[in-house]
Amino acid sequence: MRPLIRELVASGVVGEAAEAQGWVRSVRHSKGVSFIDLVDGSSMAGIQVVANPELPGYEEVVRKLGTGCAIEVQGALTESPGKGQRVELAATSIDLIGGVEDDYPLQKKRHGFEFLRTIAHLRPRTNTLAAVFRVRNEAAAAIHEFFRENGFVWLHAPIITSSDAEGAGEMFRVSTFEPGSAPKTEAGETDWSQDFFGRETHLTVSGQLEAEIGALSMSRVYTFGPTFRAENSNTARHLAEFWMVEPELAFCDLDGLAELCESFLKHVLGRILERCSEDMDFFDQRIDKGVRARIEHVVSSPFERMTYTEAISRLEQADRDFEFPVSWGVDLQSEHERHLTEEVVGRPLVVTDYPESIKAFYMYRNDDGKTVRALDVLVPRIGEIVGGSQREHREGVLRERMAASDLDPERYWWYLDLRRHGSVPHAGFGLGFERVVQFVTGMANIRDVIPFPRVPGSAEF
């Protein structure tokens, strides 16, 4: 394979012949010479191509190049007199591989992110989106790396499921029935037994229940895949399709889980700082001033811990009016979460032991009978980035919780069965992958950190 522009720029040898392929980011003609800023998406920095009028086809090709044209350049690497670049490519030939039509929507100027969402097929050609997707890629690699180094097995949880892992009923149906002509039972209800899987099925909201199977056999596992939620949340931090990372550990309690979570997040953020330095400079200067320092601070300082009960009293003491009033028993809203992590502690905060009534059925019930061993990690600007818990591994208590959540124990027979055979304390959490990419890049909207966002009313591309 030919070297990418990133490789040429980093380690190309001055004086040697080289070739580059990519898209023109900008072109500037001055007397007697043209400068082309050529990028291929492998790094923020492109390579500067220098073209002289003696070049074959100079008038027909080079003078007519515009932003977005795809070209192939042959030439020699020379030392660059320009600031901020080590080498440039003195062209001996330039071929136009793909021109652009007059209506090419990307120009050198900055475009709004909302507009860019309408051209998701072209937006990765912008500096910002390409940088986001490179960071996203490094984040994914760092996640797998952390788990591999710590003895976790990557378990591929199913995407089509017949259980509701969160018990919240926010699922997309999977069916091959034609709308309007689904077979009916004698009682007049849809007869799902005749559907493709012989039962009602949905897209999964979480791979946790399957991850628990993995943990109770292989001790440490994680899932990392797409999850789906049919909640009608039109916010800057919700997607209908997002990726979740869900480690699950046997013989682990809430304290062990909180420790793991902290070292895991620090590893991932630290690796991004290390490996995406150039992109982080860009985010720091152009997208969110101070984001690099914020992430460095997270990596180097211990996370704070607080119970839900303490968090509520801190919120009650806060000298401000929240849109959603606070009292013991309410779920924390984004404004509360942000107040706690940004104003009260000024760093990531692990909130534990939430009221049973606002958390999912599978969380371990504390001895007080009213709270569960839940854990949420809150970070500045985002709020909740991780949600997890120690799991209820006592069959009797689990049955009670399922009944209270109106879940049919027959459907979850295998989940209950795990509590009957070799059941042990175990715990796990879910990290919203896009939220971590949002946090580290400072991007304001979660729709701009996933290549093809799915949100209410939109599923193009």
Binding mask 368-397 for ligand 4AD (x = CB under 6 A): ----------------xxxxx---------
Nearer to ligand 4AD, 22 or 387 (CB): 387
| DSSP strand pairing (304-307 vs 349-355) | parallel
Number of chain residues interacting with Mg ion (CB under 5 A): 1
What proportions of the chain, in percent to the nearest 5, are helix, strand and coil?
A: 35, 25, 40
CB of 387 to Mg ion, least distance (A): 3
CB of 337 to ligand 4AD, least distance (A): 10
- Residues 377-436 close enough to bind Mg ion by CB under 5 A: 387
Nearer to Mg ion, 62 or 360 (CB): 360
DSSP, collapsed to helix, strand or coil, labels residue 259 as: helix
| 260 contact choice in ligand 4AD, Mg ion, none (CB below 5 to 8 Å, kind-dependent) | none
95-133: b (≥16 Cβ within 10 Å) or e? ebeeebeeeeebeeeeeebeebbeebeebbbbbbbbbbb
Nearer to Mg ion, 12 or 387 (CB): 387
Number of chain residues interacting with ligand 4AD (CB under 6 A): 21
| 294 contact choice in ligand 4AD, Mg ion, none (CB below 5 to 8 Å, kind-dependent) | none
If you compute the radius of gyration of the chain from its CA atoms, what whole number of angstroms results? 26
CA 96 to centroid of chain Cα atoms: 36
The CA-CA-CA angle for residues 404, 408, 411, to 5°, reads 145
Nearer to ligand 4AD, 48 or 208 (CB): 208
DSSP secondary structure letters along 395-428:
HHHHHHHHHHTT--TTTTHHHHHTTTSS---EEE
Give the residue from 94, 107, 32, 20 showing the smallest Cα distance to 64.
Answer: 94
* 348: contact with Mg ion by CB under 5 A: no
CB of 335 to Mg ion, least distance (A): 16
Enter the tokens of residue 149.
């180094």
The Cα–Cα gap between 151 and 143 comes to: 13
The Cα–Cα gap between 248 and 257 comes to: 9
Binding mask 177-216 for ligand 4AD (x = CB under 6 A): -----------------------------x-x--------
Specify the stretch interacting with ligand 4AD by CB under 6 A; choose among 38-46, 47-55, 187-195, 429-437: 429-437
* 166: contact with ligand 4AD by CB under 6 A: yes
| 392 contact choice in Mg ion, ligand 4AD, none (CB below 5 to 8 Å, kind-dependent) | none
CB of 352 to ligand 4AD, least distance (A): 13
Enter the tokens of residue 384.
């909740």
- In sign, the C-alpha dihedral spanning 113, 115, 116, 117 is positive
Nearer to ligand 4AD, 339 or 426 (CB): 426
Give the residue from 198, 207, 205 showing the smallest Cα distance to 171.
Answer: 205
- Residues 237-276 close enough to bind ligand 4AD by CB under 6 A: 238-239, 242, 244, 246
Nearer to ligand 4AD, 88 or 166 (CB): 166
Q: Under the rule (CB under 6 A), what is the footprint of ligand 4AD?
A: 165-166, 206, 208, 229, 238-239, 242, 244, 246, 384-388, 428-430, 432, 434-435
Q: Under the rule (CB under 5 A), what is the footprint of Mg ion?
A: 387
